[in-house]
Amino acid sequence: MDLQLEGKRVLVTGASKGIGLAVVRAFVAEGASVVAAARRNTAELKETGAHFIPADLSTPDGPRELVEATLALDPRLDALVNNAGGGDVPDGMFEDPLSGDDDTWTNVFALNLGSAVRTTRAALPALIEAKGAVVNISSTSARDPHTAPLPYSSAKAALNAFTRGLAEAVGRAGVRVNAVTPGGTRTNIMLSPDGYLAGVAANMGIEHSALLAALPDQSGMLTGSLIDPDEIARAVVLLASPTMPSAVGSNWTVHAGSVKSA
């Protein structure tokens, strides 16, 4: 299937690893020209051939500066993928019903919601010119907020509302805005000994490897395994493709059956 992405210009944030890296690879495989943004480069990202721009999107000026640097290379922009997200696990999170103090909430919202809002705002004139697409990466924790730190779940729920509202606001200008919501995916959040799941395991008094092995079944994932980032990337690429003109304001959930509501 020709997704008509050959020669399209795409900006991917949070691109150095995990889902972002998979998204970069998927667009490159389709012949797109990709600008990849992250706080730091990685060997794996370098191998894709994407043009890397360092950026801290949690800061007020970082998103605008990133878009300006991207458009300085070429004023065209056909697709924006807002993947930057996550956040540090604060000390005492598991004992705190609010999962962190005011600074924690501010920082998590700045990275998971503010970065998408600010990057999209800066990129919107170019996206309108191209009649392009925005794809925001959400999380199933927005629907099941007990599955992740509360600031993160809340920020992703806000990102879903932003996605749907923006789709209405810019759809008639020819810009398609959608979201992809991954379930449990094989990323550092799950796999790293310093990641969130390892912290959960330590708090429970069990081995990280044991929790990792049990997680798919405990989460109700019908496949019995975590999701490969490449699956999420394929959904992103399809939503960004001009061959899907009627995909507007959608939220494609890739969760292996873990979300039980209709």
Specify whether 156 is catalytic: yes
Residues listed for the chain: 262
Q: What are phi and psi of 136, to 5 degrees?
A: -100, 140
Catalytic residue among 58, 152, 241, 258: 152
Give the position of tokens 């980032």.
229
Q: Which amino acid is at 46?
A: K
Q: What is the dihedral of CA 56, 96, 261, 21, to 10 degrees?
A: 20
- Number of other residues whose CB lies within 10 A of the CB of residue 192: 13
Element (H, E) at 11: strand 9-13
CA–CA distance, 18 with 148 (Å, rounded to integer): 18
Between the alpha carbon of residue 2 and those of residues 16, 31, 134, the distances in Å are: 26, 11, 20
Specify whether 152 is catalytic: yes
Catalytic residue among 99, 153, 156, 196: 156
C-alpha count within 13 angstroms, C-beta hemisphere, residue 60: 0
129 sits in the region (left: phi over 0; alpha: psi -120 to 50; else beta) called alpha
CA–CA distance, 103 with 114 (Å, rounded to integer): 14
From the number of C-beta atoms within 10 Å of its C-beta (0-12, 13-18, 19+), residue 60 rates as exposed
CA–CA distance, 87 with 74 (Å, rounded to integer): 31
Instruction: State the pairing for strand pair 79-82/133-137.
Output: parallel
Catalytic residue among 33, 58, 115, 138: 138
Residues noted as catalytic:
138, 152, 156
